[in-house]
């Protein structure tokens, strides 16, 4: 017999399913936010600039 509380596996499974749903939903919103390939490219370029700025500030 296990020392785990009753239903621990099902609770963990439910939490993992919820997290997966949130990640997929966030990805869908992010993808739909840029309606064109050009818009996606601009978003990635902007993100890259932010990463470079952060790297410069934290040297």
pLDDT at 28 over 70: yes
pLDDT tier at 29, thresholds 50, 70, 90: confident
- pTM beyond 0.85, yes or no: no
pLDDT at 1 over 60: no
**Residue 44: its pLDDT value, please?**
86
pLDDT tier at 24, thresholds 50, 70, 90: very high
Q: Can you give 21-55 as a three-state secondary structure string?
A: HHHHHHHHHHHHHCCCHHHHHHHHHHHHHHHHHHH
**Residue 30: its pLDDT value, please?**
78
């Amino acid at each position: 017999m296990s020392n785990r509380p009753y239903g621990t596996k099902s609770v963990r499974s439910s939490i993992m399913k919820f997290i997966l749903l949130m990640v997929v939903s966030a990805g869908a919103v992010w993808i739909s936010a840029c309606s064109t390939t050009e818009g996606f490219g601009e978003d990635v370029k902007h993100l890259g600039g932010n990463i470079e700025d952060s790297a410069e500030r934290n040297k």
